[in-house]
Amino acid sequence: MQRWRMVLVVLMVAGCRRSEGPSKPPRQTSEPVVATFADRRITTSELQRYFDDQSSFVRFHYGNAEGKKAVLQIMIQTELLADQAVKEGFDVDDEAVEQYRKAIITQWMRAKFHDDEGESDLSAADLRAYYEAHRAEYQRPERVRVRMTFFKASPGREAAVQAEAEKAARSLSQAKDRTAPADLAARDPEDASRGRQLDLDFRSHDELAKSYGEAVAAAADALKAPQELSPVVRGTGGFYLLQFEGRTPAEGRSFEASEPELRSRLWDEQRNKRYDDFLKTLVEQAEIKIDDAELAKVNLGSSDKAPQPASAVQPTSLEEQLRTTLPPYRESPADRVGPVVATFAGHQIPTAELERYFDEQSPYVRSQLRSEKAKKQLLNGLITGQLLVDEGLKKGFQHDQIALDRFKKSMITGWMEGKFNEAQGERSFSEAEVRAYYQAHRDDYHRPERLRVEMIFFKATPAHEAAVQAEAEEALRSLSQAKDRGAFSRLAETRSDDVASRKTLGDLDFRSHDELAKSYGAAVAAAAESLVAPGELSRVVRGDGGFYLLRFEERLPALNLDFEASEKQIRSQLWTERRAKLFNEYLYGLMKQAQIKIDETELAKLEVDAGVSSGDASQLAPSALQFGWEKQLASEKRLRTPLTPLPDFPYTAQQHLGSP
């Protein structure tokens, strides 16, 4: 599944120009051309503009000859796939149009409420006033995080309760399980911390003193090492036992140090208010009228009107689809007849259409729409969304590069999900094929129990065995008394004679009994299996080549899945592999038919400025090309915008949008 998603994302991250209809000669241009394919061209200047708009990461890692060619190939592949999606009608797919509508709103709002411009317009006086109003957030005292066990002491029982608390403290100080204090959570059902497993989260001295008493706050302040236990403390209402978890230092940020954050926060608040004010005005001007009597007729589950098949509907322009409030957007206004439940700003919503829309929602959404108030709220939300789309269209954001790119990606996604259908693909394998895979990969479904332990190895030659054993025993005594959990890892790094595990601070990762026995001896494997609690230390064990100290981390149970339990997973895996093969073959055929020609000389002329110094470059991730550019592009998602100029993006019905 992950591999398939990777391929899909890769082919959608970049976009360039696409046209419809019969094949025709590439458009004529006097500019140098870097690539031709199918019926179009990509000029060197277009590709240059594309790279100039990318992040430093992309420019740095794809600025060499191989990287530039890889990105160019992705663009071409994306265009070829988009062509196929259009041929099969996915340019009027409701999901694709819905994504386009959302992108238009998003891009219009980003432009109208621009972050950089808004933040820069804020005056120093405004920022200073905001800082003073929120001073407590920028001037914070030191805070400590502790886990607490509370022993409630009523009058007359103080001595007995104190003795019980002291006994618990002695038990916990000897326990190897550092989570043991949480087991005492039932001690006091009334304490609010019990609901959070006694974790008090980070609190200041004053907050602890106010809730539990000054002595408890002082005891918490005195703790230093992780998992360190306090003595039993007399506080408000009884006795307390604390375990240290962490500490955050006092924070005293000046106005100057806080200014960037202040600008962002203040602008965020002002932007939200401006948006709310704008939307209020927009709604008032729309003169929304909702017929409550018609809305009451909308009964969930009663709609008998199904959308017309796409083949039965006359194609409507993309402009009309964008101005249609409810899906299916492909239906023309003439198809939407009957009583009207709402009118606004030149739009109307027939009652039957709203009823059908409600019925197509998920069971959860329908369960929330039982009341008239809930139905009206959703209807108002749909109306507001259409008003925002209309505003975006007025400003020409149907031509925005990123909005069009999202439309293209959604088209490709819908088309590929249909062409390479997962459910049908998984059912296409016979039981014999699935069983054969199970037998060939039996070890994946039958694994013994595995343990994860950390190890310190003391190499012992015959002449020095006693001395080395004594050293190991002394190390065990020291680690048993250490309150710092990192002590074992540090000793493994500095003292262990096992070179491989020393590099991982002693961590052996997950291994079975047999794997441990093969590497270190049966006694070491047996000692590892006897450990139970996280952080528990083994005794000093004589194994292959010397003495061993182990610390338990975690355990994975044995895996024993029969064929029936594994069948669904195997079918999914088989289809993932076959689908990747089918897709690659299909894409190869498209590319072959497109007769792709790349001018290596023109490509070499492309200058890609990484935008970083040689020193900064070391902070970027390793070159994507070392790992396969497809995987890196999919994970980074850094390729942002389509290649083509704004007016040169002819989707089906693009001509109805006019020129920007």
| pLDDT confidence bin for 310, thresholds 50/70/90 | low
Average pLDDT in the chain:
81
pLDDT of residue 56: 80
Q: Regarding predicted confidence, which is higher, 361 or 624?
A: 361
pLDDT of residue 203: 92
Asked whether 242 and 223 are in contact (CB, 8 A), the reply is: yes
Q: Please say if the pLDDT value at position 660 is more than 50.
A: no
Q: Please say if the pLDDT value at position 530 is more than 80.
A: yes
**pLDDT (tens digit, 9 = 90+) per residue, 226-258?**
888 999 999 999 999 999 989 888 888 889 988
Tell me what the mean pLDDT of segment 589-609 comes to. 89
Residues 6 or more apart in contact with residue 489 via CB below 8 angstroms: 454, 505, 506, 507
CA-CA-CA-CA dihedral for 641, 642, 645, 647, to nearest 10: -110
Q: Regarding predicted confidence, which is higher, 178 or 119?
A: 119
Q: Please say if the pLDDT value at position 180 is more than 80.
A: no
Reading across the β-sheet that carries 33-37, which strands appear in turn? 40-43, 33-37, 597-598
Looking at domain 446-560, its CATH architecture is Roll (3.10)
pLDDT of residue 313: 61
Q: Tell me the torsion sign for CA atoms 519, 524, 528, 529.
A: positive
Q: Please say if the pLDDT value at position 301 is more than 80.
A: no
Do 446-560 and 142-249 have the same topology in CATH?
Answer: yes
Tell me what the mean pLDDT of segment 311-316 comes to. 64
pLDDT of residue 304: 61
pLDDT of residue 422: 82
- The alpha carbon of 174 is separated from its chain's Cα centroid by a whole number of angstroms, namely 41
Q: Cα(23)–Cα(498) distance, rounded to whole angstroms?
A: 67
| pLDDT confidence bin for 519, thresholds 50/70/90 | very high
Q: Please say if the pLDDT value at position 644 is more than 80.
A: no
Tell me what the mean pLDDT of segment 564-582 comes to. 91
Q: Please say if the pLDDT value at position 560 is more than 60.
A: yes
Tell me the percentage of the chain whose pLDDT exceeds 90.
43
| pLDDT confidence bin for 520, thresholds 50/70/90 | very high
Tell me what the mean pLDDT of segment 81-94 comes to. 86
Q: Please say if the pLDDT value at position 653 is more than 80.
A: no
Q: Give burial (CB, 10 Å; 0-12/13-18/19+) of 466.
A: exposed
**pLDDT (tens digit, 9 = 90+) per residue, 35-55?**
999 888 888 888 888 788 777
Distances (CA, A) of 231 to 209, 212, 218, 238, 482: 17, 15, 11, 14, 17
Tell me what the mean pLDDT of segment 74-102 comes to. 87
**What count of residues does the chain have?**
660
Output the CATH code of domain 142-249: 3.10.50.40
> What are the phi and psi torsion angles at 618 (to 5°)?
-70, -20
Range in 133-147, 325-339, 548-562, 644-658 the model is least confident about = 644-658
User: Taking the domains of the chain in order of start, what are their residue ranges?
Assistant: 9-93+594-657, 142-249, 280-399, 446-560
pLDDT of residue 183: 52
Q: Cα(637)–Cα(58) distance, rounded to whole angstroms?
A: 10
The angle that helices 522-530 and 513-520 make with each other, rounded to 10 degrees, is 140
Tell me what the mean pLDDT of segment 207-232 comes to. 93
pLDDT of residue 650: 28
pLDDT of residue 450: 94
Cα angle at 509 between 505 and 514, to 5 degrees? 125
Q: Please say if the pLDDT value at position 193 is more than 70.
A: no
pTM equals: 0.61
Q: 């002693």: which residue's tokens?
A: 506
Q: Cα(320)–Cα(333) distance, rounded to whole angstroms?
A: 9
Tell me what the mean pLDDT of segment 415-419 comes to. 87
Q: Please say if the pLDDT value at position 620 is more than 70.
A: no
Q: Please say if the pLDDT value at position 386 is more than 90.
A: yes
Which of 132-136, 153-157, 474-478 holds the top average pLDDT?
474-478
